[in-house]
Structure 1
Amino acid sequence: MKFLKYILPAIFTLVFVSCSDDDNDIDTIDEVQDLLKVQEISNEKHTIEIYTETGKLVQGYNNLTIRIKDKSTQAFIENATITWKPMMHMTEMAHSCPKSDLVKVSGMQTVYNGFIIFQMAENQMEKWDLTFNYTINGIAYEAVDFIGVPASTKKTVTSVTGIDGVKYVLALIEPKNPAVKINDITIGLFKMENMMSFPVVENFKINLDPRMPSMGNHSSPNNQDLVYNAVTKLYDGKLSLTMTGYWKLNLMLRNQSNEILKGEAVTETNEASTLFLELEF
């Protein structure tokens, strides 16, 4: 009995410490462990951390993850309501760009996700900034700073005016890692209502004709035109890549009446559409 008198408290202490260690492991789970930090934007109370897969922003489509850190406690906020506003400050005007809402990532406690499509790059005189407006426990905050958006080496986003007089923005989203196969291709399509509003365009169609200009401008088999996906609010199709190298993705944009708003068919006398995107791998 004396043996049990001393051994039971020891076992209880060991189990309690073990459970406490497990709790600490849960508290310190890194919800951005597979991402790289782009930069931080701060105000007096909080630091907003911005992450992507590469640790960079690019001209074109950007999938962004953010979290908010309380400067006084160093804890990450779990109950924020957030909006964001990217702005390009040009020499004679300012405008925004297509973007999604920022939403809490399912199954996560501290991270929020969304996308921004920068349709133009920065230069020495013209810069992007990013404003976050958010509320925590009913208190409103704002944080803003400049962000770097260098020019892309290939055209992954384009702004065009259709024959209907509407300005459209198209951005290549997938494939991120193209390969010699039939790839899933996704393009975002938006229209410019005004300098601040770029809503999604629904139920159009995007004809696809990929070509290799350096190889006799040959195409590839088994491509599928892009159609609207009502769930993702993006356009999905199939892109057949038969070899590595530079590909020009010739496009034609059609409205709900099947009228061509922008772009031309590639023929023996017309080597490329005026509406196109690019990739190289």
Structure 2
Amino acid sequence: MKKILFLALALAGTILSSCQKDSDIIIEDPKKNLIKIADAFAIGSAAKVELWSGTELNTGYQKLYISLSDSASGKALNRSSVQILPIMDMDLNGAKMSHSAPLENPESMDADNSLFSCAAVFTMPSSGESGKWRMIVMVKKEGQTKYGKAEMAIQVKQSQPERVKTITAADGSKLTIAYINPASPKVGVNDFEIAVFKKQDMMTFPAEDNYSITMTPEMPSMGHGSPNNVNPTLTKNGHYKGKVNFTMTGDWRINLVLNKDGKSTTTFFDLLF
């Protein structure tokens, strides 16, 4: 009898311990370290759309995150087709025009920890009444046949130092070149990354995968460069990655030569750390 009682008490203790452990499990909010930029309802898809980022929006390559929830129940939507479209509306002395910017839509219909990852390259800052950015997010929930549309005003600040260049290539095409890494440069070898996009029209900027790139870092104030750099090469979707070596802190200029079909185009990005 004592043995049975002991086993019963042991089993109860195990169950209690198990329940206690389950209650101690803390699920971390995926948006804990993000900044909420804006939100709106996607008309036509019964979804609430939230736009998040790791930082305030600045000119250049900006990683973005979309969070979706059912507009009625508030339940998270983790499987949907999501597309973004940044739009700059300009008023130049009464002449109105709009244009978009390079972008990267979520690669999957499945959210990663309740977030749909995407990116935009903001080519200019917001400028009061004469230049306003807005973000359009198209949402088609699983089972729906049409997209709903959410639209929200956003503010974009000028990056310091400059992190995006719009240049004319040697073949006459317009290129947008976005600096991505190193985001926090350090002395020594750093991962280097840029993204290159070609202007097709005012609303379309496809990734440009056809360049070979030569990179030459220099320190203008000291009159020297650095060894052991690795030229950036294409990974995918217009992204080129390499290695850049900074031998000391100070002002650095990363010179880039973009080569295509025997023609070269030059640009650069400045750093100070």
TM-score, normalised by the number of residues in structure 1: 0.82
User: Tell me, what secondary structure is at the counterpart of 2:78?
Assistant: coil
CA–CA separation in structure 2 for the residues paired with 1:194 and 1:22 = 55
Q: Which residue of 2 is the match for residue 108 of structure 1?
A: 112
> Which of the residues 153, 159, 178 maps onto 1:152?
159
Partner of 1:143: 150
Give the match for residue 42 of structure 1.
Answer: 40
Aligned residue for 2:174? 167
Query: In the TM superposition, what are the counterparts of 1:197-236 in structure 2 within 5 Å?
Result: 197-216=204-223, 218-230=224-236, 233-236=238-241
RMSD: 2.9
Q: Confirm or deny: 8 A CA contact 2:170 2:263 kept in the other structure.
A: no
Q: Structure 1's 23 and 80: CA in aligned 2 closer, same or farther, altered over 3 A?
A: farther
**Matching residue of 2:30:** 31
Gap change, CA 1:77 and 1:185, over 3 Å in 2: same
**TM-fit CA distance, 1:172:** 0.7
Deviation, 1:133, is: 0.7
Question: How do 1:8-157 residues align onto structure 2 when only pairs under 5 Å count?
Answer: 8=8, 15=15, 18-19=18-19, 22=22, 25=25, 28-33=27-32, 35-43=33-41, 45-54=46-55, 56-91=56-91, 92-104=96-108, 108-124=112-128, 125-139=130-144, 140-157=147-164
**Counterpart AA for 2:256:** L
Does the 8 A contact of 2:35 with 2:52 survive in 1? Answer: yes
Q: Which runs of 5+ in 2 are unaligned?
A: none
Structure-2 separation of matches of 1:111 and 1:11 = 41
What displacement does 1:71 show? 3.9
**How much has 1:137 moved relative to structure 2?**
3.7
Q: Which amino acid aligns with 1:59?
A: T
Instruction: Report deviation, 1:233.
Output: 4.1
- For structure 1, which segment, 74-83 or 9-18, has the greater mean C-alpha deviation from structure 2 after superposition? 9-18
Sort the Cα spacing of 1:89 and 1:21 in 2 relative to 1 into closer, same or farther, 3 A.
Answer: farther
1:47 is displaced (CA, Å) by 3.0
Greater relative contact order, per chain length (Cα 8 Å cut-off, separation 6+): 2
What SS does the corresponding residue of 2:22 show, helix, strand or coil? helix
Cα 1:107–1:38, aligned 2, differ >3 Å: closer, same or farther?
A: closer
> Kindly tell me: are residues 159 and 179 of structure 1, through their superposed partners in 2, closer, same or farther at Cα, counting changes over 3 Å?
same
Q: Deviations over 1:32-54 (max 9, x none)?
A: 33x31232321274432222223
Q: Which has the higher strand share?
A: 2
SS of equivalent residue, structure 2 residue 185: coil
Q: Distance in 2 between matches of 1:126 and 1:248?
A: 30
Unaligned 5+ residue runs, structure 1? 264-274
Identity %: 30
How many residue pairs get aligned? The number is 263
8 Å contact 2:79–2:110 — kept in the other structure? no
Of the candidates 188, 193, 203, which is equivalent to residue 186 of structure 1?
193
* Distance change (3 Å), C-alpha of 1:103 and 1:135: same
Match of 1:268 in 2: none
